[in-house]
Copies of this chain bind each other. A is one copy, B any other.
């Protein structure tokens, strides 16, 4: 085998920054708080001027392909339960970053290839939604499954797409505007790995973004021959499932199966954010301590760069790279600057706060069994240069610019 091509997101047909999508929607109204983490709209359902709505859509992306593979190889359809959690948490944890942490209404959409994906898979997805909603309910976080749609669209969908849409409603004055971050703020990272008190298994740290790269970097092309439905035939043959691993192999340095690690359901940080917000009697007090919450999914460590003005996010004490991400990097020979741009690399929630509040944030996470620490700080950016994200890690410095 010759020199291996480096794997980038662009040559796998994915834009981690979605430049053309942002261009396509640039004329779309930005809502009440353009600098909040999600689009916030007036409460047009009731007309109450003191309230607002967030209507949010996301899904498990191509992680459903991993569940499909695991199910085909191992006969274990329960992997699809985690996919429901993925589709849901990618929504609700975004919404949590605006300060709304309960009363979520949920609709789900499944698009499947009926020739390959039978009713038992649909049932597992639906069960997964119900189990997650029940578990959150026990923690005082109310979520309601309101129904959904399953479409048989084999000419469009190779295997199965699992999406969900979530609406939340709350008082306008509770909304956290992420752009309130200022130079001097501490950045607390809340770990994506380990086992939270409300989880049943260790989490590898992976979420539902970056999965196209993870699949192709890590998994063996044996699977393409066996299941041609798991890949776009237009993807460069040298890059498609060009990895060394099978789903039963262990992730280097661990005893966890590669398939399990890649399928680890996206952790929700809702209990952490709920606990944090409960410390404050008023929204004003809250905002004097917490300046921004960032859910570091698509865009990874660079995602925060979209918020604030004239600021530089300096991250110089990240968590140790979790084994699942080290495996992806090494197997795909992915450049480190690309890794930080695509994956969360150890923490998926960032709390930008006054430095004196950092210890409270760390304690809140630890009480729920999750590691947390100050991973960096907000500095003033060079004049006229827009925002920057600077990652110092592994003896190197990675600089990213945002408009």
Contacts and interface: CB of A to CB of B under 8 A. Distances in A.
A368 interface: no
A148 interface: yes
A278 B30 CA distance: 34
Contacts of A64: 156
Interface string A235-273: 100000000000000000000000000000000000000
B107 A165 contact: yes
A122 B65 CA distance: 24
A21 B119 contact: yes
Contacts of A12: 154
Given A23-B119, A103-B45, A122-B20, A108 B57 contact: yes
A231 interface: yes
Contact of A154 (B14, B29, B44, B126): B14
A147 to B, nearest CB: 4
Interface string A112-140: 01111011101100100010000000000
Q: How many copies does the complex hold?
A: 2
Contacts of A385: none
A62 B153 CA distance: 6
A39 B119 CA distance: 21
Most B CB contacts (10 A, CB to CB) among A13, A38, A149 go to: A149
Given A46-B169, A151-B61, A234 B126 contact: no
A145 B148 CA distance: 19
A380 interface: no
A18 interface: yes
Contact of A232 (B46, B145, B155, B161): B155
Contacts of A130: 28
B158 A158 contact: yes
Contact of A105 (B15, B44, B65): B44
A99 B20 CA distance: 39
Contacts of A228: 233
Contact of A13 (B13, B142, B154, B233): B154
A109 interface: yes
Most B CB contacts (10 A, CB to CB) among A61, A64, A116, A169 go to: A61
A53 interface: yes
Contacts of A123: 23-25
A179 interface: no
Contacts of A86: none
A238 to B, nearest CB: 15
Nearest to A146: B55
26 contacts: A12-B154, A13-B154, A23-B119, A23-B123, A25-B126, A28-B126, A28-B145, A44-B144, A45-B103, A45-B105, A53-B146, A57-B109, A57-B147, A57-B149, A59-B151, A61-B151, A62-B156, A65-B156, A109-B163, A116-B234, A154-B232, A154-B235, A155-B212, A155-B232, A156-B157, A157-B157
